[in-house]
Structure 1
Amino acid sequence: MLNSVAKGLGLALLLACWFVICPQPCRADWICDGDRLSVEITRGPVDVTGLKAAIPNAMEGTLPGDGVLIRWGDVVLQLPRTNNAGSPSYTDGRWWWRPEDVSAPEFFERRGTLIRHQCALIEA
């Protein structure tokens, strides 16, 4: 009996460690130009073991190789994280997302000219 309880506690501890090491994607929602926009951070394949000090621009829990999955109306975008200095930003060359100010993130689209989409955080 005691052995099965110890195994159960060991499994619970192992699962807890797994969720700390491999965090779940972060999510947030905004209203952009009248439509709901949701963002999910996706983790990239970068192995950061032992390299914390050597990784450029490792800010706000994201690393080069990470990305975002954006759902906005009928538009679904998967944007890779840039390695620009400053707060994390994401772009595919046409779309650009940067939530430096979470209450009013920057969301641009390039179609010959630069189109800025106005976004506001949905208060919970």
Structure 2
Amino acid sequence: MTALLHLGLALLLLLWPLQASATQYLCEGDPLSAEVHQGAVDASGIPNSAGGTVPGAFVVIEWRGVSLQLPRTNNAGAPSYTDGHWWWQAADPASPDFAERRRSSGEITHYRCESAA
């Protein structure tokens, strides 16, 4: 029984990346990949579950050689993700919002993005 459980867990770990699919964009002319993961959440009754996501979910962004894992916020409305430095929201999938807060100045740079489809 234990061996069967270990085999099942190993298969789950191998198949886990296949559960989320990346959406392709062009941001400032460079390819960007955004892959939303639902994450494990053990809290029930979370007030904002718009877009089928809840806090605990995250997005993985690949852009210009940088890989970001941004946690889901609990802001009202469409799902948004931030680590306090980078921010992502695809309320309009054809033109998502992507921004970076400069640590030294606090200035926010907004990057122009569009669907690559």
| TM-score, normalised by the number of residues in structure 1 | 0.73
Q: For residue 22 of structure 2, what is the aligned residue in structure 1?
A: 27
Identity across matched positions, percent: 48
Q: Deviations over 1:29-82 (max 9, x none)?
A: 10001110001112322036xx4xx22111112111000000002111000000
Q: Where in structure 1 are there 5+ consecutive unaligned residues?
A: 1-18
**What is the total number of aligned residue pairs between the two structures?**
98
**Deviation, structure 1 residue 24:** 1.4
State the Cα RMSD in Å.
Answer: 1.7
Structure having the higher Rg: 1
Q: For residue 106 of structure 1, what is the aligned residue in structure 2?
A: 97
Question: In structure 2, the residue corresponding to 1:68 is in which secondary structure?
Answer: strand
2:29 partner letter? G
Q: Where in structure 2 are there 5+ consecutive unaligned residues?
A: 1-14
Give structure 1 regions of 4+ aligned residues with deviation exceeding 4 angstroms: none
| TM-score, normalised by the number of residues in structure 2 | 0.77
Question: In structure 2, the residue corresponding to 1:120 is in which secondary structure?
Answer: strand
Question: In structure 2, the residue corresponding to 1:115 is in which secondary structure?
Answer: strand
